[in-house]
Protein backbone atom coordinates (compact mmCIF):
# COMPACT_ATOMS: atom_id res chain seq x y z
CA UNK A 1 0.00 0.00 0.00
CA UNK A 2 1.62 3.28 -1.04
CA UNK A 3 1.59 5.87 1.72
CA UNK A 4 2.03 9.55 0.86
CA UNK A 5 2.48 12.33 3.40
CA UNK A 6 2.17 15.89 2.10
CA UNK A 7 3.06 18.84 4.31
CA UNK A 8 2.03 22.35 3.37
CA UNK A 9 2.65 25.71 4.97
CA UNK A 10 -0.71 27.21 5.89
CA UNK A 11 -4.20 26.08 4.98
CA UNK A 12 -5.68 24.58 1.83
CA UNK A 13 -9.30 24.59 0.80
CA UNK A 14 -11.22 21.33 0.62
CA UNK A 15 -11.23 21.61 -3.19
CA UNK A 16 -7.44 22.09 -3.25
CA UNK A 17 -6.95 19.02 -1.06
CA UNK A 18 -9.31 16.98 -3.22
CA UNK A 19 -7.51 18.01 -6.42
CA UNK A 20 -4.08 17.28 -4.92
CA UNK A 21 -5.20 13.84 -3.74
CA UNK A 22 -6.69 13.01 -7.14
CA UNK A 23 -3.54 14.09 -8.99
CA UNK A 24 -1.13 12.30 -6.66
CA UNK A 25 -3.24 9.13 -6.74
CA UNK A 26 -3.37 9.18 -10.54
CA UNK A 27 0.42 9.52 -10.85
CA UNK A 28 1.22 6.79 -8.33
CA UNK A 29 -1.38 4.43 -9.81
CA UNK A 30 0.04 4.94 -13.30
CA UNK A 31 3.76 4.94 -12.51
CA UNK A 32 3.83 2.32 -9.75
CA UNK A 33 1.04 0.15 -11.14
CA UNK A 34 -0.90 0.27 -7.89
CA UNK A 35 -4.68 0.29 -7.64
CA UNK A 36 -6.02 3.73 -6.65
CA UNK A 37 -7.94 2.27 -3.70
CA UNK A 38 -4.65 1.07 -2.19
CA UNK A 39 -3.08 4.55 -2.13
CA UNK A 40 -3.26 6.35 1.21
CA UNK A 41 -2.60 10.12 1.38
CA UNK A 42 -2.22 12.32 4.45
CA UNK A 43 -2.11 16.11 4.20
CA UNK A 44 -0.55 17.97 7.12
CA UNK A 45 -1.26 21.70 7.27
CA UNK A 46 1.49 23.37 9.26
CA UNK A 47 1.21 26.92 10.59
CA UNK A 48 3.85 29.28 9.19
CA UNK A 49 5.07 30.03 12.71
CA UNK A 50 6.12 26.38 13.02
CA UNK A 51 8.34 26.42 9.92
CA UNK A 52 11.73 28.03 9.53
CA UNK A 53 13.90 28.58 6.47
CA UNK A 54 17.49 29.68 6.81
CA UNK A 55 17.07 29.85 10.57
CA UNK A 56 14.19 32.32 10.36
CA UNK A 57 10.54 31.52 11.05
CA UNK A 58 8.23 31.98 8.08
CA UNK A 59 5.69 34.74 8.28
CA UNK A 60 2.15 34.19 7.11
CA UNK A 61 1.45 35.63 3.66
CA UNK A 62 0.06 39.15 3.67
**Beta-carbon-side half-sphere exposure of residue 27 (alpha carbons within 13 Å):** 7
**Beta-carbon-side half-sphere exposure of residue 30 (alpha carbons within 13 Å):** 6
Candidates 1.10.10.10, 3.40.190.10, 3.40.710.10, 3.30.429.10; correct CATH number of 3-55? Answer: 3.30.429.10
pTM of the model: 0.83
Could you read off the pLDDT of 3-43 as tens digits, one per residue?
999 999 999 999 999 999 999 999 999 999 999 999 999 99
Question: For residue 25, with 0-12 CB atoms within 10 Å meaning exposed, 13-18 middle and 19 or more buried, which class applies?
Answer: buried
Residue 49: what pLDDT?
87
> Does pLDDT of 58 surpass 70?
yes
Q: How confident is the model at residue 57 (pLDDT cuts 50, 70, 90)?
A: confident
Amino acid sequence: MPYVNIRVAGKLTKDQKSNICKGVTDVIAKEAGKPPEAILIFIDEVEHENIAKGGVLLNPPE
